[in-house]
């Protein structure tokens, strides 16, 4: 059976790839080395639009309600923990986006803040993804019946189409690929 959580695990791979890029860029920014001014801005927008609105949106709008219906605790339970981490991530992405906008306009005074918020976000999201992939999603897979899983998997496509629109997913994958090549050249 193809679990609905597999789509979310697959999305984690793209998010982790972009986290690796921004981590390398944040170290370069912190150390005063060159980074394309738009990289951090584009990455921040990727995290806001894809990682949060689309990916976390699927979890909050579609997966979590089905988990609750299947008897998994919300407030004070694993769902509540995931929601809290989504909220913390949103705050960090907001700060990162603000600093990235200033950085893209040539304001060098934000480099420390940009590096710090980026590295804090990278640490939070890597830990969050590890928990989801290894604890949270297996729990969802056990609790949610197969028929509900199939319907849930189909509802993700509808959700993504409404939130992201046509071609955006592909554009983000191309951006990740290009930035991965750039980051590889920094080594």
Residue with tokens 């990740």: 176
On the CB side of 85, how many CA atoms lie within 13 Å of its CA?
22
pLDDT score for 1: 53
**What is the pLDDT at residue 185?**
94
- Could you tell me which residues come within 8 angstroms of residue 110 by beta carbon, excluding any fewer than 6 positions away? 99, 102, 103
pLDDT for the residue 179 = 96
87 Cα distance to chain centroid: 12
Residue-by-residue DSSP string for 21-76: HHHHHHHHHHTT----HHHHHHHHHHIIIIIIIIIIHHIIIIIHHHHHHTT---TT
Q: Give the per-residue pLDDT at 2.
A: 60
Name the CA radius of gyration of the chain, rounded.
17
32, 38 contact by CB (below 8 A) = no
pLDDT in tens, the chain (187 residues): 568 899 999 999 999 999 999 999 999 999 999 999 899 999 999 999 999 999 999 999 999 999 999 988 888 888 999 999 999 999 999 999 999 999 999 999 999 999 999 999 999 999 999 999 999 999 999 999 988 988 898 898 888 888 887 778 889 999 999 999 999 999 8
Handedness of CA 84, 3, 48, 32 (dihedral sign): positive
The CB-based long-range contact list for 115-118 (8 Å cut-off, 24+ gap) reads 115/26, 115/27, 115/29, 115/30, 117/92, 118/22, 118/23, 118/25, 118/26, 118/29, 118/40
pTM of the entire predicted model: 0.94
pLDDT at residue number 73: 82
Give the whole-angstrom CA distance, residue 148 versus residue 103: 45
Specify the CATH number for 4-185; select among 3.30.750.24, 1.20.120.520, 3.30.590.10, 3.90.1410.10: 1.20.120.520
Other CB atoms within 10 A of residue 143 CB: 15
pLDDT for residue 101: 96
């Amino acid at each position: 059976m193809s679990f609905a959580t597999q789509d979310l695990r697959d999305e984690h791979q793209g998010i982790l790839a972009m986290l690796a890029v921004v981590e390398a860029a944040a170290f370069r920014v912190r150390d005063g080395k060159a980074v394309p001014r738009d990289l951090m801005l584009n990455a921040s927008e990727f995290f806001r639009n894809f990682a949060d609105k689309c990916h976390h949106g699927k979890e909050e709008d579609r997966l979590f309600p089905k988990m609750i219906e299947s008897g998994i605790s919300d407030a004070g339970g694993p769902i509540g923990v995931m929601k809290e981490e989504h909220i913390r991530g949103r705050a960090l992405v907001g700060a990162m986006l603000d600093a990235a906008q200033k950085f893209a306009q040539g304001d060098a005074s934000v480099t420390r803040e940009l590096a710090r918020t980026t590295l804090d976000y990278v640490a939070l999201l890597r830990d969050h993804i590890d928990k989801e992939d290894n604890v949270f999603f297996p729990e969802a897979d056990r609790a949610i019946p197969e028929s509900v899983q199939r319907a849930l998997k189909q509802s993700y496509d509808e959700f993504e189409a409404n939130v992201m629109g046509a071609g955006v997913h592909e554009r983000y994958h191309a951006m990740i690929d290009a930035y991965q090549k750039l980051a590889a050249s920094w080594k």
